[in-house]
Amino acid sequence: MSGAKRDFYTRDSRPIVLVIVLIVIALIFYIGLLGYRGIELIQDGSVVGIGLGIGVLLLPLLGIWMLVATLRAGITHQRLGRRMREEGRELDVSSLPRRPSGRLERDAADELFATVRTEWEADPDNWRNTYRISRAYDYAGDRTRARAMMKRAVAQEKAESS
């Protein structure tokens, strides 16, 4: 394993986890506050207050659903990434040229994508290939397709594990 690759995978993740925990705590606080305001509106007793209160109470439910879905997806993606690293199948981009922002140079990302796409087209039902093409889409800057392919990789891995 190269030095840059080792540094990336052995970094201390505690600061990131701490930030995520703080964001979750803040969201839970605001969701609770929103729920409290919805109840206050309903207790007001007016038709408008009750209508608004019910609407406001739906927002915390939506917020909780989004929070749980996002955390579950992040944990699942991390698990797949760990499996790929353990199997030696994670994309190695440590030697590719980067922009000052840290993103890969466009030509390098496109070349990487072309290589990974060929692998994926040979076996699109393999979750590992789908995971790799998701990462390649991300490196190429196509986040929409990257997310769609990552969802597909998760579904394929889940079906394989069942």
Residues 47 and 73 sit within 8 Å (Cβ to Cβ): no
**Amino acid present at 75:** I
Q: Alpha-carbon distance 81 to 162, whole Å?
A: 19
For residue 145, what are the contacts with CB-CB under 8 A and spacing of at least 6?
Answer: 134, 137
Q: Alpha-carbon distance 104 to 139, whole Å?
A: 7
Digit-coded pLDDT (tens) for 61-86 = 898 999 999 999 999 999 999 999 99
Digit-coded pLDDT (tens) for 98-118 = 988 888 888 999 899 999 999
Kindly report the backbone phi and psi dihedral angles of residue 79, in degrees, each rounded to the nearest multiple of 5, phi listed first: -65, -45
Digit-coded pLDDT (tens) for 120-157 = 999 999 999 999 999 999 998 899 999 999 999 999 99
